[in-house]
Amino acid sequence: MQQDVSILIEQLKAGDYSALARIISLVENEHPSAAEILLSLRFNQNIPIIGITGPPGAGKSTLVNALAEEFSKEGKRVAILAIDPSSPFNKGSLLGDRIRMNAQFNDPNIYIRSVASRGALGGLSEKTIEITDVIRAAPFDIILIETVGVGQSEIDIIGLADQTIVVLVPESGDEIQHVKSGLMEIADIYVINKADRDGADIFASKLERMLKMKHLDIPVLKVIADRSVGVQNLLQLMESHSSFPNKVLKLNLLAEKAWRLIQRKRMKDIDKMALKQLLEEQSKNSFFNLYRFINEYD
Q: Would you say 61 and 101 are in contact if contact means Cβ atoms under 8 Å apart?
A: yes
Rounded-to-integer distance, Cα 208 and Cα 199, Å:
14
Res 289: pLDDT: 84
- The per-residue pLDDT of the chain, averaged, comes to 81
40 with 5: CB under 8 angstroms? yes
Quick one: pLDDT at residue 2? Answer: 57
Express each pLDDT in 131-142 by its tens digit. 999 999 999 999
Q: Are 23 and 43 in contact (CB under 8 A)?
A: no
Rg of the chain over CA atoms, in angstroms? 21
- The predicted structure's pLDDT at residue 249: 61
List, for residues 256-281, the tens digit of each pLDDT value. Answer: 778 878 888 888 888 888 899 999 99
pLDDT at 122: 42
pTM of this prediction? Answer: 0.81
Give pLDDT < 50 ranges for the chain.
86-94, 96-97, 119-123, 151-154, 175-176, 179-180, 245
Handedness of CA 166, 172, 173, 177 (dihedral sign): negative
Residue 212: the pLDDT is 87
According to the 3-state scheme, what is the secondary structure of 179-208?
HHCCHHHHCCEEEECCCCCCCHHHHHHHHH
What is the per-residue pLDDT for 191?
95
Which long-range contacts does 260-265 make (Cβ < 8 Å, 24+ apart)?
260/129, 260/159, 261/129, 261/130, 264/126
Residue 92: per-residue pLDDT = 46
Show the domains of the chain with their CATH numbers: 1-41 (no CATH), 43-260 (3.40.50.300), 268-296 (no CATH)
Q: Write the burial class of residue 109 (CB in 10 Å: 0-12 exposed, 13-18 middle, 19+ buried).
A: middle
What per-residue confidence (pLDDT) applies to 259?
Answer: 82
Give, in order, the Cα–Cα distances in Å from 196 to each of 90, 101, 178, 222, 223.
39, 22, 21, 9, 8
